[in-house]
Structure 1
Amino acid sequence: MDGSSPAAAAVIERVLAFLDSKTVAACKTVNRTWYTLATIQSARNIDCHILQLSLRIAHYKRKGLLKSARSLTVDVSFVDGYLSPAAYERRVRDAAAMLQSSLMPVSHLKLHASSAHAALTDGEIHHGTTAIGLLTRALPSLASLDLSDCPAPLLTASRGECVASLGRLCRLKWLSLGSNDMSSATALRRMVRANVRTLVKLDGRGDVTDPTMQLLMDAPQLRQLDASGSGISDDCLLALVRKRGASLRELILSDCVRLTRHSIAQLTPKLLPQLASLDLYNVPVTTDAYQSLFNAQTHWPYLRDLKLKAAIHHASSRQESRATDDILESIGRNCPRLVSLRLFGCYGSTDSGLSAVLGNLGYLRELVVMHHPVDPLIDEEHSSSEAGGSQSGSSNTPTAAAPAANGPSSSLSSDADVWAGIPSLPSNGLPQHSSSARRAVLPLPSTAPSSPRPADAASGASSRQRIFTSGALRNGVRSQRFNLLNLDMTYDSECAAHLAKLSHLHTLCGRMITRHAKSLIEAQFPKCRMMVWNID
């Protein structure tokens, strides 16, 4: 495509928006049309230090590219020893004045400052707040402001022009204060109050407090809220959902430790009919709250991204927060548009629930269902059958899992959480076992149809681990493309036969894989990355 026609030029311009800067620079060598469009694309984002901003604007003006700029990323950190304080401040004010007079149509502004050390000096705070205040004043019609890389002292300093200038912004649609601490909550409330009529997305994270949630109740256009790691309460969350839940499309509540089942159980499709993304990672959720979210009557027509992990106190029983097979079946039946499903610590799920998810969800691209590596609890029916069958032998022969029931493995956090937190790059720090220990720790489960029941006590105890088997794929896999498949599973030849029917598989993670299954998957997907604990 040479780009000679207007339609071809429009397609090229659209494609260039998704390329990185290095690829865009290489596209300039195709022909004159590609050079022009690639030059315009590379000029859309200006990234420089504030002392270099005036030179960059002058360069864009000579090239006639001022009207192409859409995004501005400025480093406002103070460079000590480069200029005298008076000359430094004069240079900053000149750059802001030149930016204001250039009339560039910049809609996105990202400010960041170096945070190599925790305590900022008075000079760094003064010059940083001055730069932030001047830049935001020079662009009064901003639609997007990202302050996630600015230290909190720059946003909360009583001196300088920062706080007053941020309060004057009144047309923001997207606001981010992601990496700051709770000390910037005042600045956040000030900006939310000023932009409450236009705010569409708030990425406040730990800065979101109950007063901020009360201000958001008056935000008619709010669509996305990220309050991860914050201390919001049940009452404020329910009040916001009842007032603005009809328009919310993304709700991220991970690590909100103050939330309880009182509020989580009421996050139903009736209050959130258009919700597309729900993140409840590390939130105190119980089984009854799961059942309220996902049951036969709850239908989530637009839900595309779901992430669940219950934050259970180490001393409490994991039976209080089990993602059972009924819950997984409800997810597979009532969330037809799920693209990404991540469930961590699913102590109550078995092959039946996972089979319902794989067999019903046709749009899935990422699936993560992780157990505890060594789950000390067992199902009631499994416990009763084992107690009746090995009552005499267990009294004389100590099992390998006996000390784990009351030992450190029941109170320490799961290694699977660390691994599943970055599913495409699992931890390399997992212990490597010898061949004998590997059979004791990671056995083929006794619940598999083709696996005989272990006769020795150690294997019988380790069979309590709830790992998925090939029975989880007995109904097939409805989705044909997987970017990530991370299951606490032992992949055998039967699993590989089901997975070989996929059209795309990028990353495969699991508990163990047989050599025959590995060769089958490699033959079908030569570029697939297999990250499995052990190969048997």
Structure 2
Amino acid sequence: MDGTSPAAAAVIERVLSYLDSKTAATCKTLNRPWYALATIQSARNIDCHILQLPLRIAHYRRKGLLRSARGLTIDVSFVEGYLSPAAYERRIRDAAGLLQDSHMPVCHLKLHAPGAHSALTNDEIHYGTMALGHLMRALPGLTSLDLSDCPALLLAPPSDVHLASLRQLRQLSWLSLGSNDMTSATVLRRMVAANARTLVKLNGKGDVTDQTLRLLCAAPNFQQLDASGSSISDDGLLALVRSRGSSLRELTLSDCARLTRQSIAQLTPKLLPRLGSLDLYNVLVTTDTYQCLFNAQTSWPYLRDLKLKAAIPRASPRQDSLANDDILEAIGRNCPRLVSLKLFGCHGTTDSGLSAVLGNLGYLRELVVMHQPTDPLDQEDDAGSAVAQSTVTHTPSGSSSGANVSTAAAAAENDLLSSLPSISDIWASIPALPSNGLPQHGANTHHSVQSPPSTAPNSPCPADTAGGATSGQRVFTSGALRNGVRSQRFNLLNLDMTYDSVCAEHLAKLSHLHTLCGRMITRHAKSLIENQFPKCKMMVWNID
């Protein structure tokens, strides 16, 4: 494809948008059309400090690329000792004025300030707020605004002078205040109110409140909400779902501590018919709530990403707080287009439930199903599933083995363990791999990781692993693959499973596999998977 025809140029330009800067620079050496298209693509975004913006605009004008810029990433941090206060203010005004006079078709703006998580001086607040206000006035046609790297004090200083310029943005469709705290919630509400008719996606996270959700009820084009870690309540969520549920595509509600079954149980396909992504990680729900979301009568035809993990209440029995086989079977039957499925704390699941998921879902690329909950206080398993006490407690060095631990010390130890991340949370942070499943440039060759024994509660690698999994601990077996694996293009397969030769034979039928995680793997199964997928990264806790 030489790029001489308009159709070929359109395809090349589309491909270049997915390449990194190094690969795009290599594409410039092919021929003249590729050089021109790659140069234009690399000029889409301008990344510089606000004081360097005039020089960058002059460079783009000389190269004839001024009309190619679509995004700006501007650093508005204060450079101490560089200029006098009067000269510093003049440089900021000149940069904003030159940006406005250049008539660049910029529609995406991201502001960055390195002091986002530290105490700011008066000069940093003053000049950062000034730069923010001038940039907002210079780009009234913005459709995407990312303020996630800005300190909250720049967004909500004692004087709300710059809010007038923020309210002038009437065409925003994507807004992010991801790294701020509740001090910027007022700014978020005002910007949502000003852009209610055009807003499509809101990445407000902890700044989202019930008042913001009520403003979104009047947004006719709103589709995607990220309110993770926020203080929204059942009333606010139900108001949004009942008014805008027919148009919602993505709903991220992870770590929303105030949400209960009253609202979560009503997130059904009847109210959310076109929902494509649902994240309920660490939300206080029970098994009956999951049964309301996924049962024989509910069908999710457009759901592609699903992430569930119950925040187990301390006073609630475990069997009433986690997923079971019925829920997995309902997911496998009524969510046919799932691409990513991540379930944690599936205490009641067996091979039957996992088999229903693997045998019915043909579009899966990422699958994570873990038995272990992440609340160390809920250690008691059902009958026949108790872990040996030696894997939970340990004796400090220098003390007798029969020494009794005081009640205060035991409580302190429980508090410490509850603050530590569990293995499930660590595995949940594994980044998603490309959905196209192609090997990545510079990918590391296959390697296996054997974790040392752990004495932490809920660890999938208990101390007694000499004979495989600890006696009584529930893990998936090769019986979960008795119905086969319908999806043939897995990027990530993370199961609380003991992989044997039967499992390896089923997995060998896949077209590719990037990452495989599990409890234990036999040497024969490891050899089979290595031969089939030489670049697969295997993360298993024990090799037998």
Deviations 1:473-512 (A, max 9, x none): 1111000010000000110111101101111111000001
Deviations 1:106-158 (A, max 9, x none): 11011111117621111111110110111111110111000000000000013
* Whole-angstrom CA distance in 2 between matches of 1:348 and 1:442: 26
Identify the match of residue 496 of structure 2 among 469, 473, 488.
488
Report the counterpart of residue 48 of structure 1 in structure 2: 48
Report the counterpart of residue 539 of structure 2 in structure 1: 531
Report the counterpart of residue 417 of structure 1 in structure 2: 424
**Amino acid in structure 2 at the alignment position of 1:29:** T
**Amino acid in structure 2 at the alignment position of 1:60:** Y
Report the counterpart of residue 153 of structure 2 in structure 1: 153
Report the counterpart of residue 432 of structure 1 in structure 2: 453
* Whole-angstrom CA distance in 2 between matches of 1:522 and 1:302: 35
Deviations 1:373-402 (A, max 9, x none): 89844445x57xx9xxxxxxxxxxxx8348
* Contact 2:448/2:538 (8 A) holds in 1: no
* Whole-angstrom CA distance in 1 between matches of 2:492 and 2:281: 18
Report the counterpart of residue 521 of structure 1 in structure 2: 529
* Contact 1:337/1:361 (8 A) holds in 2: yes
Report the counterpart of residue 292 of structure 2 in structure 1: 292
* Whole-angstrom CA distance in 1 between matches of 2:313 and 2:367: 26
1:146-185 → structure 2 map (5 Å cutoff): 146-159=146-159, 161-185=161-185
Deviations 1:37-83 (A, max 9, x none): 11111111011000010111111111111110111110011111111
Report the counterpart of residue 256 of structure 1 in structure 2: 256
Range with bigger deviation, 151-160 or 193-202: 151-160
Aligned-pair CA distance for 1:346: 0.7
* Contact 1:184/1:207 (8 A) holds in 2: yes
Report the counterpart of residue 16 of structure 1 in structure 2: 16
Q: Identity percentage over the alignment?
A: 72
Report the counterpart of residue 265 of structure 2 in structure 1: 265
* Whole-angstrom CA distance in 1 between matches of 2:245 and 2:448: 38
**Amino acid in structure 1 at the alignment position of 2:293:** L
RMSD value over aligned CA atoms? 2.6
Report the counterpart of residue 463 of structure 1 in structure 2: 471
Paired residue secondary structure (1:522)? helix
Paired residue secondary structure (1:258)? coil
Q: 1:418 to 1:430 in 2, by over 3 A?
A: farther
* Whole-angstrom CA distance in 2 between matches of 1:262 and 1:140: 41
Range with bigger deviation, 330-339 or 167-176: 167-176
Paired residue secondary structure (2:333)? helix
**Amino acid in structure 2 at the alignment position of 1:317:** P
Aligned-pair CA distance for 1:162: 2.5
1:219-368 → structure 2 map (5 Å cutoff): 219-314=219-314, 316-368=316-368
* Contact 1:252/1:278 (8 A) holds in 2: yes
Aligned-pair CA distance for 1:442: 7.3
* Whole-angstrom CA distance in 2 between matches of 1:226 and 1:233: 14
* Whole-angstrom CA distance in 2 between matches of 1:498 and 1:98: 62
Report the counterpart of residue 451 of structure 1 in structure 2: none
1:97-108 → structure 2 map (5 Å cutoff): 97-108=97-108
Range with bigger deviation, 258-267 or 4-13: 4-13
* Contact 1:129/1:160 (8 A) holds in 2: no
Aligned-pair CA distance for 1:441: 4.3
Paired residue secondary structure (1:78)? coil
Query: What are the ranges of 5 or more consecutive residues in structure 1 without an aligned counterpart?
Result: 387-398, 446-461
Aligned-pair CA distance for 1:279: 0.1
**Amino acid in structure 2 at the alignment position of 1:476:** G
* Whole-angstrom CA distance in 1 between matches of 2:114 and 2:391: 49
* Whole-angstrom CA distance in 2 between matches of 1:269 and 1:442: 47
Range with bigger deviation, 407-416 or 123-132: 407-416
* 1:472 equivalent in alignment to 2:480: yes
* Contact 1:28/1:39 (8 A) holds in 2: yes
* Whole-angstrom CA distance in 2 between matches of 1:117 and 1:318: 38
Q: 1:160 to 1:26 in 2, by over 3 A?
A: farther
* Whole-angstrom CA distance in 2 between matches of 1:67 and 1:8: 22
* Contact 2:451/2:542 (8 A) holds in 1: no
* Contact 2:136/2:165 (8 A) holds in 1: yes
* Contact 2:117/2:151 (8 A) holds in 1: no
Q: 1:442 to 1:244 in 2, by over 3 A?
A: farther
Aligned-pair CA distance for 1:292: 0.3
Q: 1:424 to 1:77 in 2, by over 3 A?
A: closer
1:378-393 → structure 2 map (5 Å cutoff): 378-379=381-382
* Whole-angstrom CA distance in 1 between matches of 2:147 and 2:543: 46
* Contact 1:45/1:71 (8 A) holds in 2: yes
Q: 1:194 to 1:442 in 2, by over 3 A?
A: farther
Aligned-pair CA distance for 1:187: 0.4
With normalisation by structure 1, the TM-score equals 0.89
Aligned-pair CA distance for 1:22: 1.7
